Chain A
Amino acid sequence: MKRSREQAASELFAALYPRLAGWCRRLVDDDETAHEIASEAFTRLWARWTSVAEPRGFLYVTAANLVRDHWRKLERERRAVRRATAEAAVRPETEQADPSVRLLVQSLPERLRVPILLHYYADMPIREVSVLTGRKEGTVKADLHAARELLRAHLRRSVDHTL
């Protein structure tokens, strides 16, 4: 019983960790932080008493929240440094991160971000997303559509700014 559980955990780790860590790497600055976030997501998954029905979705949502916390922390630090040196000499470190994914996670509200993450990044079909989020399939489709429209608007705005 315990051995089979251990084996299942090992297989899950081998299948999901590289992809999750790679996804985190696109959002954060360095490999080490990406590993930390992915590891923390796995730790939270296995530290639970009750088993998670859909571990993939749980991992991605947890990682997205950790990434958001990381960004907030960076922002606080940057502001503190700026205040201390009185000049904006510090370049934003997150420029290295993929701006598109950052936009995705940062610009969307929680309600729309989760379906997008699960559907597009965790490769879950809509039916699974609806089960995981407790929403009807039609609602999930509508949420995905709304999220895409929001992202389009954000992209258009950023393109206008660069021009």
Chain B
Amino acid sequence: MITHSDDGPDFEPDDPLAVILRPASDYLGPPPGRYEAIRRGAARRRLLRAAAGAGLLCAVTALVALPVRLAAPDRPASPTVPLAPPSTSSRPATPTPSPSTGPAESDAGGPTEATEQPPAASPDASTGPSAAAPSKPPADSVAPSAAPTEKPSTTPTPTPSAKSPSKGPR
């Protein structure tokens, strides 16, 4: 394409285009207070635009977040406290030594359980087994042999009745 020189006017002085393309010569002064009014209007328009943008952003965020939240599983599984001890296999080790030392008064650290056990089992068989049953079942396998032999006078009847069933099935 041919580019035409435009540095100087491309038309003759009597060209009608010279009339058309003459620069604007008439001026129209602003009315008083027009500048402040324009500035205020521009600031208000900018503010409105910002508010509309923020509102739009909130709406879009809500539209995106709501389905995601509804689609997610109801609640994360809350950590529940186990009601019973997890396993009984670890306990047998502690009670087993107790019978060996326990029979003769047994005041050491290990026998503390054993010391509490005989009174708990002896006065009332109903509460004793219920509290100690989960942790003590393996221990009972050894305990009966000691309990009847050690204290026949105090609790003769309850111990055989409580221990014999536990021993039987095992």
Interface residues of A (CB under 8 A from B): 9-10, 13, 17-19, 21-26, 31, 34-35, 38-39, 42-49, 100-101, 103-104, 116, 119-121, 123, 126, 138, 140-142, 144-145, 148, 151-152, 155, 159
Give CA–CA (A123, B38) in the complex, Å: 25
CB < 8 Å neighbour of B35 from A10, A21, A123, A126: A10
List residues of chain A with CB within 8 A of the CB of B30.
Answer: 13, 17-18, 21, 35
B21 touches A120 (CB 8 A): yes
Number of A-B residue pairs having CB atoms within 8 Å of each other in the complex: 109
Interface residues of B (CB under 8 A from A): 1-7, 10-11, 15-17, 19-31, 34-35, 37-39, 41-43, 45-46, 49
List residues of chain A with CB within 8 A of the CB of B19.
Answer: 100
Give CA–CA (A41, B60) in the complex, Å: 32
A148 touches B10 (CB 8 A): yes
The smallest C-beta distance from B156 to any residue of chain A, in angstroms, reads 96
CB < 8 Å neighbour of B23 from A31, A104, A123, A152: A123
Residue pairs across A and B with Cβ atoms less than 8 A apart, 23 shown, are A10-B35, A13-B38, A24-B28, A26-B24, A31-B28, A35-B31, A42-B42, A43-B38, A46-B39, A46-B43, A47-B41, A47-B42, A47-B45, A100-B20, A116-B21, A120-B22, A138-B3, A141-B4, A142-B1, A145-B3, A145-B6, A148-B11, A152-B17
Give CA–CA (A100, B34) in the complex, Å: 29
The smallest C-beta distance from A84 to any residue of chain B, in angstroms, reads 33
List residues of chain A with CB within 8 A of the CB of B7.
Answer: 126
Give CA–CA (A22, B1) in the complex, Å: 37
A22 touches B17 (CB 8 A): no
B39 touches A9 (CB 8 A): yes
The smallest C-beta distance from A145 to any residue of chain B, in angstroms, reads 4
